[in-house]
Amino acid sequence: MEGHDLRLYAKGAAFEDGIYDLRSMELLISSYRSITDRLIAVNLGRRQLTPAIKSQIDYQTRIKSGSIELLIDFVFTHKEIIGALAADGGYQLAGSITKLFGEAITLRKQVAELIDKGLPINITINNNVNIGSGNIIANAENGDIRINDPKVLWAAQVTKYPADRLVSGIDGKAIEYAQFSARDDEMLLSPDDRVILGQNKEELAATIRVTGRLDMVAFSAHRGTIVSGGEKFPVTWDDGIRTKMQKVVDVEGVNFTVRPIIDHKRMHGEAIAYHVLDCFVPQRDLGV
């Protein structure tokens, strides 16, 4: 990868005999770009990249028989946007991205292992250790995980979707493995990393009230979506309140009594869905 900042190399049957599987190529290219963009944003302390920052990244792709190679160059036309990370032409940024992604995957594997043991996850952060030290310690007895920097947790969360998509395609055959590397750092994804996939959903016993609008309903399946605070949450309910739910479809300002559903593998306690127990419109009798 001489002369380039970042490299993704993948090997497998999808790239053999001069005929390349378009789905596998698209999977690698789009997932890698999404992961890279999100990790650059994390390194810069941002939620997402602005168009000005995205314009600093030049993507090139090389295809060889039996493999695919993606090379990334950082083109700093406005170095003030990137700041200190541009001082050495991008090597520091490339190394930080590679280390950060490796630690994010390691953290997710530790979380998956503890979840499989039925342990509650408790993540604590030591802010006094620099990123990339490899200091992720998991306690297999009580579910405690200590990580070295909040960016590691942040990176694991923001790259979850593209990383899951990429790992799901690494099957040991069509794509045997994918290797990420910078000048002095590298990390590898293989079928063994599929442990990070899947969900470990839990419906909490506590009830909360959510105000919003019921949308996209499939009453036969007792499923729909609540739009609340500009966000959409999948919801389910039991047949006993079906009539009530039918009366509040597309009604604004409905109060729903719900149990939150969380996904432990997302490594935060925010609800990803709700199970509705009751609903009512303030100052309105639903007649049930």
Residue 85 is predicted with a pLDDT of 58
Cα–Cα dist 245/231, whole Å: 19
- If you average pLDDT over residues 237-241, what whole number do you get? 94
Model pLDDT, residue 126: 73
The values of phi and psi at residue 249, to 5°, are -60, 130
Q: What whole-number percentage of the chain has pLDDT above 70?
A: 88
More confident residue, 287 or 96: 96
Encoded tokens for 94: 């490339």
The residue among 203, 204, 206, 199 whose CA lies nearest residue 115 is 199
What's the number of CA atoms in the CB half-sphere (13 Å) around residue 253? 4
Q: What is the mean pLDDT of residues 255-264?
A: 92
pTM equals: 0.76
With 60 as the cut, is the pLDDT of residue 220 above it?
yes
pLDDT value of position 275: 96
Check: CB of residue 100 under 8 Å from CB of residue 82: no
How far apart CA 40 and CA 97 sit, in angstroms, is: 7
Q: How many CB atoms lie within 10 A of CB 41?
A: 19
pLDDT at position 270 = 81
Please say if the pLDDT value at position 245 is more than 80.
Answer: yes
d(CA 83, CA 43): 11
Q: Are 145 and 114 in contact (CB under 8 A)?
A: yes
pLDDT digits (tens, 9 = 90+) for 135-144: 687 777 788 8
Indicate if the pLDDT at residue 20 is higher than 90.
no
Spatial distance between the Cα atoms of 102 and 100, rounded to a whole number of angstroms:
5
Whether residue 40 contacts residue 214, with contact meaning beta carbons closer than 8 Å, is answered with no
Both tokens of 67, joined, read 């493999």
Give residue-wise pLDDT tens across range 158-182: 999 999 999 999 999 999 999 999 8
pLDDT at res. 129:
46
Please provide the average confidence, as pLDDT, over all residues in the chain: 85
Instruction: Please give the C-alpha separations between residue 13 and each of 17, 49, 65, 162, 172, in angstroms, as whole numbers.
Output: 9, 34, 10, 22, 9
Mean pLDDT confidence for 69-78: 74
Judged against a pLDDT cut of 70, whether residue 207 lies above it is answered with yes
Q: What is the pLDDT of residue 254?
A: 95
User: Taking Cα atoms as reference points, which of 160, 279, 266 lies closest to residue 224?
Assistant: 279
Instruction: Note the pLDDT of residue 88.
Output: 58
Distance of alpha carbon 250 from alpha carbon 177, whole angstroms:
47
Using DSSP's 3-state secondary structure scheme, residue 205 falls into coil
State CA 90 to chain mean position distance: 24
Rounded distance, CA 264 to CA 260, Å? 12
The pLDDT confidence band at residue 246, using thresholds 50, 70 and 90, is: very high
- Residue 125's pLDDT is what? 83
If one counts every other C-beta atom within 10 angstroms of the C-beta of residue 245, the result is 23
Q: What is the mean pLDDT of residues 27-40?
A: 92
